[in-house]
Amino acid sequence: MSSAHILVVDDEPDIRSLLKEILEDEGFDVTIAENAAEARECRRQRRPDLVLLDIWMPDTDGLSLLKEWSEDNGLDAPVIMMSGHGTVETAVEATRLGAYDFIEKPLSIAKILVTVQRALENATLISENLGLKQRAAGPVDPIGSSAAMEKLRGNARRIADHKTSVFISGESGTGKEVIARYIHVCGRRSEGRFVNVNVAGLARENPDAELFGIEDDGKVSFGSLELANGGTLFLKDIADMDLSTQARLLNALENQTFLRVGGRELVTIDIRIIASTRKDLLELVRAGEFREDLFYHLNVLPLIAPPLRERREDIDELIDFFLDSFVEKARLPRRTFPPAVRSRLKDHDWPGNIRELENFVQRLLILGSSDSVEVSEINAMLGIGPEAHPNPLFPGFDLPLREAREQFEKAYLEHQLKAFNGSVSRVSERVGIERTHLYRKLRSLGIDPKQIKEASKE
């Protein structure tokens, strides 16, 4: 991973040289400028991760330059102001314009280093928090103890430290972004940014601007490629990228340089690409809708996010994760998910995968009127009547013994209750189970005798 790039702007040569020497000794990549004009040019050539900006300069003062940058497209990197003639009013104005901190001269090197480190850490936290908001209640790491997920996590860790492109395929809702973030966090680039680009959401009139940035009349707007410099760029739904942007992206990845839209000089980058798609990209290549050379450039390290129906044993862990998350973050009421309910959820194929399950759990918490989820609720939400469940008397031949036994007991007792019009006492005599024990068994299986009794009257 490349070191953080710091731009030092100060009209005093001794201060510029001192800061450059000290910061480079700390492992940072440093560019220096003696005035606002040079600072603009340096920033145009390469986006800094942090700026140390003097207030009093001969051409344009630091506050005016800070205001100029903040008004363009907002500050994309923390700015630390420096001044030997600072006042409270100046510090307040710098903060209002978006400066991270204000340091008085003569400079304390110890304070400079601490402030720089904190500013960079704060910028990383802001980026991570934006990512968390985008992910809402979704998992932070790939969840599941199934063999498929253990293998997927192992492969992700093995490739995490390599710069080579990663290509993640899988159905919609299988957690491809979660896998991409996991690769980023496990690798050497974890200190850099993880920039998420939804290719399908790029502006149709000018998609290149969002990826490559813009230069217009001396002003620079940085694109995703530069924002991800030193880190990871995740291209979600890469199949939706138009052919002209594909060609420009391939050239940037092969050369690790590119031109901004309207730019005149090449920008150098050091990024890792992780791309994902829910479509068959090879089929799109054959149809001429996706560049073959870009496909093979991205498909060096392929990973497949398995659909939820192929790892049903992970559903329990996912339910518990979403339940805890919605209770803690959304303040939704906690409800218990009895074994019969969990078994019923495992029977569903979940065509929308993890995302569908997440939404389903949220709906159960919002709409539920009791402390415990019932199987009848699940069936109602899935649009399935009690008689529509396949093999009602002999379910679960493809399930583990414990789950198959639960399904059999549920179907058996529902059948007996229907036969005796919902009378628990008569069923107790018929099946040879003490009534109190039978009531407990019915509750654990999510069976409501009252509902069956009411249904028998209709």
What 8-state DSSP symbol labels residue 191?
G
344 belongs to a structural domain = no
Specify if 343 maps to a domain. no
Spatial distance between the Cα atoms of 366 and 227, rounded to a whole number of angstroms: 38
Number of domains composing the chain:
4
Task: Examine residue 269 and state whether it is found in any structural domain, yes or no.
Answer: yes
Decide: 342 and 417 in contact? Cβ < 8 Å: no
- 326 and 421 share one domain: no
Please say whether the beta carbons of 179 and 152 come within 8 A.
yes
My answer on whether 312 and 302 are in the same domain is no
CA distance 266 to 166: 25
The pLDDT tens digits along the chain (458 residues) read 457 899 999 999 999 999 999 999 999 999 999 999 999 889 888 889 999 999 988 888 999 999 988 886 667 889 999 988 767 788 888 888 889 999 988 889 999 999 999 998 888 776 655 554 444 445 678 999 999 999 999 999 999 988 899 999 999 999 999 999 999 999 888 888 899 999 988 877 788 988 999 988 778 888 899 989 889 999 999 999 999 999 999 999 999 999 999 888 899 999 999 999 999 999 999 999 999 999 999 999 999 999 999 999 999 999 999 999 999 988 899 999 999 999 999 989 999 999 999 999 999 999 888 999 999 889 888 876 554 444 444 455 556 677 777 777 888 888 888 877 888 888 888 778 888 888 888 888 888 888 887 776 65
Task: Indicate whether 181 and 113 sit together in one domain.
Answer: no
Q: Is the pTM for the entire model greater than 0.75?
A: no
**Domain with 425 in it: what CATH number?**
1.10.10.60
Domain of 395 in residue numbering reads as 390-458
Question: What CATH number does the domain containing 296 carry?
Answer: 3.40.50.300
Angle at the Cα of 145 from the Cα atoms of 139 and 151, rounded to 5 degrees: 95
- Based on the domain organization, do 108 and 243 belong to the same domain? no
Amino acid at 301: L
Q: Give the three-state DSSP class for 453.
A: helix
Nearest residue to 6 (alpha-carbon basis) of 97, 105, 82? 82
Residue 334's CATH number: 1.10.8.60
Do residues 37 and 178 both lie within one domain? Answer: no
Do 269 and 153 have their domain in common? yes
CA distance 73 to 458: 66
